[in-house]
Structure 1
Amino acid sequence: MTELAILYEHPAWFAPLFAALDRRGLDYVAISLGDHSFDPAASPPPAPVIFNRVAMSSFLREPEHPLFYTMALLDHWRGQGATILNGPEVMAVDSSKARQLSLLHRLGLATPRTHIVHRAADLAAAAGAVGYPLLVKANIGGSGAGIMRFDSAAELAAVVAAGDQPQSVDQVLLVQEAIPARDGLIWRLETLGGKFLYAITVEGAGQFDLCPADACGDDRGPIPMRAFDPPSDIVAAAERIAAAMGMDVGGVEVMIDNRDGAPRFYDINALSNFVARPVDVLGWDPHDRLVDWLETRIAEARA
């Protein structure tokens, strides 16, 4: 019997993972969600261990996206005894920036000042509480989608009057202070099995539509990024976040506030396809360690 199933949506992002699994000779099945369906009275798990690799940004590629479908499917398979990696409870937090911020606050971590609304008419009042400059963000984003910066109330009012404010597929919006990031850098820490794996710095903290993990780049070329060793307290914070969320694999993003030097945690991403050109950036390929970890989880499920 096949021992591992990879559930995914993006057609190309996981080629390196599949290649690493093939090199190791691991028996697996890759399941694309494009035309997938299931019977709640049947549809047994395709493997004892199922690894969820569905991206929050899938709604950008398909209007009939599989985000909420995937949560139901994973819950169905777990109910039949499968081990689910990055399961529905992880997706529920991954798909809500509002829930992420609440989690970060419960852990005692600093975040950008934020107000949450669900009506465009309430953006102005929330902005008044947060202060300018600010960002309006879609609650369900992905690859930096659905973010706009506003430097004045008049600018925000004009956009809202035209109906051009960001839209979120769940109708939830964040109004968040614009953090002046030190050196214009994002710090992204990746975790595997709840433990720190590696960290990179990503240039472009004042830009949007970034996808730091896979270096999507733009018309100016790839996003500059470098491996680095983060302070031990930031590593510990990332591991605490992963543990509190139950996240098996994923990244945590933080910026250093140039006003006071404080780390501001602002995003958790349970879908990480790892840094592009890992050997060039890190000196090693994290997919190999991911496959090691997957083999351990398969052995645990088999026992």
Structure 2
Amino acid sequence: MQLFYSVEGLKQYVYSDDFEEPIDGITLLQQYIESPDSSITRCEFINGQFFYAVNVDTSEGFELCPADACSIEDQFCMTTENTRDKFQIITDFDDPIITQYEQFLKQNKITFAGIEFIRDEAGYLYTYDVNTNTNYNSDAEAKVEQFGMQAIANTLAHYLNQQTKDAQHAG
């Protein structure tokens, strides 16, 4: 992902040797929306229900994958000025958008998801990404003792137990 400040800058990149044609031939352009605190929010849903929201610090770029495997930590720099956690679970998150997201997931038969949004300086909310292969950040989860993978495992175990009971009653 790259940020361009002008159409001319985008054109220069696209027509340069640095441009890599996407495998599927689709280049996605998004309008840059600046948040007042350089962050986005990712809402996690398990079994179609809101699980938690994560504040993601974007001040150092757009690599926003919360998975531990995506973390590069400080591999390239021995010191850092940013003392903010990149991923921080918001323990008291309550926003009307959650109801809309849950309805969207139900209508589209999506059980597990991470939905990302950003607020601009005027407070307007832009939803820009729905991930159905969601990831969790173990450091952020440990701080609040909420664990997405454990909740998914519990949900799947419940489904399996229900399927087993249904099969026993049918047979």
Alignment TM class, shorter chain as reference = 0.7 to 0.9
Q: Which amino acid aligns with 2:56?
A: V
- 1:166 offset after TM fit, Å? 5.1
- 1:163 offset after TM fit, Å? 4.2
Structure 1 equivalent of residue 139 of structure 2: 277
- Equivalent-residue separation in structure 2 for 1:295 and 1:172 (angstroms): 38
Q: Which amino acid aligns with 2:87?
A: M
CA gap 1:300/1:205 in 2 versus in 1, 3 angstroms: farther
Query: What TM-score comes out, normalization by structure 1 length?
Result: 0.46
Structure 1 residues 16-39: Cα deviation after superposition (integer angstroms, max 9, x where no partner)? xxxxxxxxxxxxxxxxxxxxxxxx
Structure 2 equivalent of residue 151 of structure 1: 5
- Equivalent-residue separation in structure 2 for 1:271 and 1:204 (angstroms): 21
Asked if the contact 1:242–1:248 (Cα under 8 Å) also holds between the matched residues in 2, the reply is: yes
Match of 1:150, SS? Answer: coil
Asked if the contact 1:194–1:248 (Cα under 8 Å) also holds between the matched residues in 2, the reply is: yes
**Higher relative contact order (CA closer than 8 Å, sequence separation 6+):** 2
Structure 1 equivalent of residue 45 of structure 2: 191
Match of 2:29, SS? Answer: strand
Asked if the contact 2:65–2:135 (Cα under 8 Å) also holds between the matched residues in 1, the reply is: no
Quick one: which of 51, 71, 78 aligns to 1:216? 71
- 1:281 offset after TM fit, Å? 2.9
CA gap 1:192/1:218 in 2 versus in 1, 3 angstroms: same
Corresponding position: 1:266 with 2:128: yes
Q: Which amino acid aligns with 2:129?
A: D
Q: Which amino acid aligns with 2:134?
A: S
Quick one: which of 58, 74, 89 aligns to 1:227? 89
Structure 2 equivalent of residue 115 of structure 1: none
- Equivalent-residue separation in structure 1 for 2:85 and 2:105 (angstroms): 26
Structure 1 equivalent of residue 169 of structure 2: none
- Equivalent-residue separation in structure 1 for 2:150 and 2:112 (angstroms): 14
Asked if the contact 2:44–2:113 (Cα under 8 Å) also holds between the matched residues in 1, the reply is: yes
Structure 1 equivalent of residue 162 of structure 2: 300
- Equivalent-residue separation in structure 2 for 1:213 and 1:182 (angstroms): 25
**How many positions carry a matched residue from both structures?**
156
Asked if the contact 1:148–1:165 (Cα under 8 Å) also holds between the matched residues in 2, the reply is: no
Structure 1 residues 172-221: Cα deviation after superposition (integer angstroms, max 9, x where no partner)? 12222100023111101100110001111010167123313446144358
CA gap 1:233/1:262 in 2 versus in 1, 3 angstroms: same
Runs of 4+ with deviation above 6 angstroms: none
Gaps of 5+ in 1: 1-146
CA gap 1:216/1:159 in 2 versus in 1, 3 angstroms: same
Quick one: which of 30, 38, 59 aligns to 1:176? 30
Q: What RMSD, in angstroms, separates the aligned Cα atoms of the two structures?
A: 2.4
Corresponding position: 1:241 with 2:104: yes
Asked if the contact 2:44–2:114 (Cα under 8 Å) also holds between the matched residues in 1, the reply is: yes
Asked if the contact 1:182–1:255 (Cα under 8 Å) also holds between the matched residues in 2, the reply is: no
CA gap 1:289/1:195 in 2 versus in 1, 3 angstroms: same
Match of 1:227, SS? Answer: strand
Match of 2:110, SS? Answer: coil
Asked if the contact 2:87–2:140 (Cα under 8 Å) also holds between the matched residues in 1, the reply is: no
Could you tell me the percent identity over the aligned residues? 24
Structure 2 equivalent of residue 82 of structure 1: none
CA gap 1:183/1:278 in 2 versus in 1, 3 angstroms: closer
- Equivalent-residue separation in structure 1 for 2:62 and 2:99 (angstroms): 27
Aligned pairs for 1:39-78 (under 5 A) are none
